[in-house]
Structure 1
């Protein structure tokens, strides 16, 4: 799944709220206006049931972008798609604007509400305790860009190079991949669990936390966060319980705040399906060299 915003410094023309989803195997939406420029969306469905969601909401004061890469089922990504933006709007209104604190509060509130849903649903749907979603959010307000991330979706900015290379584009990564396939993330998880020599193991061709999951941060996956779930007899009937001494993944987002500059041209927000196929540089060059809506159609998304 990929969303692209371009013309970041363009003045306000009109506002449009859009939610994108559905179960088509492959679809795209050409450029539409948002408060700071244009956006477009492309999706290629890898599963029988689409587990990913995306949304854009534009107001006169801010543009919000979300890409939610679900795993284990669609419930978590659909829940985030419905609840995260309202929490962002609520807390931003209460605190007089966007901030890192507002974003953290919105992520935490979404996580807590999903936890309540899991508790209510567990007796009839025990598998919901193992459903989760990566969560990548961007917001533009007053020429300031906020990027918050859980998991291994990624935000990349394309900006014009300076000097003799002004007709080329430079890729600038704006988010952290919380995936234990990245050595720094793997060491971070190991340092948080010094008494567990098997907190990260190499299995089925990749590094995984407790041999189960690659991402170290998410919304949901509550059986890896709350002892009462992986010890619950109902959940144990559904799957193999994992003996944990403490939570092994979190819902604490990494946040970047950046002032937008005149040379900033566009943003790409995409799940790992894109970045497994393309480097940051390759993706921004495709967008840069292919004008407007055409660039979206040629990207191989999964």
Structure 2
């Protein structure tokens, strides 16, 4: 090889090796440009804030703080489109800085309260306001990103990359490959109601986020009622609590009973912790834990739910609805309600069967005043095969107004059209729901089990 060819190869190698680093530097430059534009337009620097009003908050106790911090940082990194290969390390730094700075954080306006239940807090435990805590966390994240955008910190930026994701030492690097197959896409709309009470969470990097050794991803859809607080709480706390439960089964990854018990404990604990706040809000929940397995296995799916949000597992020839909705008029649920301690009734009110004439689902998280409504989830597990292409999670605002075969056909059709962007597929489903006279909040999450080309190829075989 000539010296010229060798030099050109070295330049090309350096270009490939630094691609992820350059992407992050561009991200930081865009943040600086955004701040300058905001300052120009508003006359002052715009501070990051949480878009909730004073009525959409709840007290956060010590055992709930870690989950709220992690989810706040993660959601903000996704909102700002932080490059993938820096997300986990930055999250770790911010979480550590936030936890260390609590004692001097006046802006959180800590209050000292006792709790009616000793399981929540002691007599002198610090209690945080959710919105103020979130603002404090986001401000700490913004400060870190501002520091990294300073020219004096350029040399330190590689230290904030996730382990093994930058190759700057001349070794072979795959930085020029696609960052990852699109793992999921989401869509949601307030629609006709006055408030958006749905929430969802998509954690493709669930194991990395909560430092679990087996490789999992987690997806959840929460349809709130009587306000969004129960749904917001479940979206933040449930993944964290599930990760804690999963630590105990890491030595037996095929023990389905252990996964069932982990989900049951998590749902019941989430319900207990939220209900003890005395907030009149509740939520359905459908949660999917996707476990990767060593080839030739295609992985395993664990699904738990309360209420009437649904999960559809799709292959070209068969679509399997994994959820049996918890409705008060179902014979088994009606019997349970009417035999509940303290008594319960199922009444037809405002066009729907309701628990005690109030709640139109028989199981939920929250709803502490409707005692016959329980948070014990149902559970199914499925061994995935080469035929499975994707999972559709959605609230009743979608599934009650669009036939499942229409949902499936629409997704396959959109995927086969190269001019259609994947992120537009949920919008199409939402429009179909509105055409079907959906008056409710609508949320849809599509989890892809293989890349787009393989899904299309698999579909065209049949």
User: TM-score, with normalisation over the residues of structure 1?
Assistant: 0.70
Classify 1:75/1:57 alpha carbon distance in 2 versus 1 (closer, same or farther; 3 Å). Answer: same
| Cα distance in 2, alignment partners of residues 38 and 172 from structure 1 | 20
Counterpart of 1:68 (choices 207, 215, 222) is 222
* 2:289 alignment partner in structure 1: 139
> Match for 1:218 among 351, 364, 375?
364
Offset at 1:77?
Answer: 0.6
Contact 1:203 1:211 (C-alpha < 8 Å) held by counterparts: yes
Match of 1:268 in 2: 392
| 1:297 shift after superposition | 2.0
Q: Deviations over 1:157-209 (max 9, x none)?
A: 11122xxxxxxxx32101111123xx5x2443235525999811222112112
Moved over 6 A (4+): 32-36, 195-198
- Say whether residues 1:279 and 2:403 are aligned partners: yes
Paired residues, number: 233
Ranked by relative contact order (alpha carbons within 8 Å, sequence separation 6 or more), the top structure is 1
CA distance in 2, matches of 1:105, 1:194: 23
Contact 2:230 / 2:282 at 8 angstroms: preserved in 1? yes
Q: Is the 8 A contact 2:183 2:204 kept in 1?
A: no
Deviation readout 1:119-170 (Å, 9 max, x if unpaired): xxxxxxxxx2x31000110010030001110000000011122xxxxxxxx3
Deviates more, 1:43-52 or 1:254-263: 43-52
| TM-score (ref. length: structure 2) | 0.47
Of residues 313, 317, 335 in structure 2, which corresponds to 1:157? 313
Residue 72 to residue 192, structure 1, CA distance change in 2 (3 Å): closer
- Structure 2: 5+ residue stretches without partners: 1-70, 85-177, 208-214, 293-298, 416-421, 434-441, 443-462
Q: 5+ unaligned residues in a row in structure 1: which ranges?
A: 1-16, 21-28, 119-127, 162-169, 226-247
C-alpha change, 1:65 and 1:198, in structure 2 (3 Å) is closer
Q: 2:185 maps to what in 1?
A: 40
Partner of residue 99, structure 1: 259
Say whether the 8 Å CA contact 2:355–2:370 is kept in structure 1. no
Change (3 A) 1:223 1:194: closer
Alpha-carbon distance in structure 1 between the residues aligned to 2:343 and 2:304: 30
Cα-Cα RMSD: 2.7
SS of the residue corresponding to residue 271 of structure 2 reads helix
What is the SS of the residue equivalent to 1:117? coil
